[in-house]
């Protein structure tokens, strides 16, 4: 397998026509008249969620305080090298039925309010912050650790491999967690937040049980008419936000570079490049 640096070198030399561009290699191709850059917003979300079975995160005011401490612009800049879009809801803007108004009802950045609520609840910690042992999410965890520290809450980062992360989360062995998922359907909300998917049976690691949420996530996956499905998923997103169970932080951009002679570039609704429609014109 060709590594990223070699792929970019071959692109610049005209030996290949198309390749992905990771953040560290972006500066090598920016401004090059022989290369075109295409940014594609992914059907992916980086988010924070809570173990609501653990005090003080069984308290919505504490969960809200954590979210008020989060400065999404800091994550976009430091963890994604600018290649991400701040995201507030539990669905990224690229997944059907995402709520474009999510920012209006998600707790806003307010470090003073966060510190006040954390102090009032005596939520000093230390608490565990579970994340994946990969550079992007470890960077995010370090930023969150610093933000919460400034608000008066101590968290210790617990970075795991994907397999160990899932096992730890399924057993409830964390207080706060950073998660990244990629999915093309809003039914991901059933998988992540319906209570039947908790207790190690699925991917609901929040320990949160809400009869209305269970009903809505079940209805969402059964709805056949787009208008009805949209109404259901908007309710789900607002319910999760109002209870501060989880919140988005960022949706990443993927960057693909092509030589200038590559024509016919376009993507499908999911952001997949339609390679069969490309041609070369020199």
- pLDDT band of residue 225 (cuts 50, 70, 90) is very high
Model confidence pTM above 0.95: no
Average pLDDT of the residues in 57-74: 98
End-to-end CA, the chain: 28
- Give the H or E element holding residue 188: helix 188-193
**Least trusted range by pLDDT, from 112-121, 139-148, 238-247, 258-267:** 258-267
What does the chain come to in residues?
Answer: 282
Contact 80, 23 (CB under 8 A): yes
- Give the H or E element holding residue 218: helix 211-222
Question: CATH topology of 4-41+254-280 equal to that of 44-253?
Answer: no
> Is residue 281 scored above 90 in pLDDT?
no
From the CB of residue 122, how many other CB atoms can be counted at a distance below 10 Å?
A: 9
Class of domain 44-253: alpha beta
Structure tokens at 60: 């919505």
Q: Are strands 84-86 and 279-280 parallel, antiparallel or unpaired?
A: unpaired
> Is residue 68 scored above 90 in pLDDT?
yes
- Give the H or E element holding residue 27: helix 26-29
- pLDDT band of residue 1 (cuts 50, 70, 90) is low
Q: Which residue matches tokens 């994340």? A: 131
| Backbone φ and ψ of 15, nearest 5° | -85, -25
Domain ranges of the chain: 4-41+254-280, 44-253
pLDDT tens-place string over residues 175-209: 999 999 999 999 999 999 999 999 999 999 999 99
CATH number of 4-41+254-280: 3.40.190.10
């Amino acid at each position: 397998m060709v590594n990223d640096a070699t792929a970019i070198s071959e692109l610049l030399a005209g030996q290949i026509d198309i390749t992905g561009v990771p953040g560290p290699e972006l500066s090598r191709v920016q401004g090059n008249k022989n290369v075109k850059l295409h940014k594609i917003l992914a059907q992916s979300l980086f988010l924070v969620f809570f173990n609501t079975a653990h005090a003080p995160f069984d308290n919505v005011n504490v969960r809200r305080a954590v979210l008020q401490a989060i400065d999404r612009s800091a994550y976009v800049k430091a963890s994604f090298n600018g290649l991400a879009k701040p995201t507030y809801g539990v669905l990224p803007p690229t997944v059907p039925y995402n709520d474009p108004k999510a920012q209006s009802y998600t707790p806003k950045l307010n470090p003073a309010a966060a510190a006040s609520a954390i102090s009032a609840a005596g939520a000093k910690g230390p608490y565990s912050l579970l994340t994946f042992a990969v550079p992007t999410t470890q960077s995010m965890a370090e930023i969150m650790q610093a933000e919460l520290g400034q608000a008066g809450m101590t968290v210790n980062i617990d970075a795991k491999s994907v397999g160990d992360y899932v096992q730890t989360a399924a057993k409830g062995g964390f207080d706060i967690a950073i998660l990244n998922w990629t999915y093309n359907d809003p039914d991901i909300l059933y998988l992540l937040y319906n209570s039947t998917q908790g207790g190690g049976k699925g991917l609901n690691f929040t320990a949160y049980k809400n009869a209305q949420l269970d009903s809505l996530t079940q209805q969402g996956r059964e709805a056949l008419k787009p208008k009805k499905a949209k109404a259901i998923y908007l309710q789900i997103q607002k319910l999760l936000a109002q209870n501060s169970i989880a919140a988005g932080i960022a949706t990443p951009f993927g960057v693909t570079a092509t030589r200038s002679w590559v024509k016919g570039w376009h993507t499908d609704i999911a952001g997949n490049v339609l390679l069969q429609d490309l041609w070369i014109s020199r």
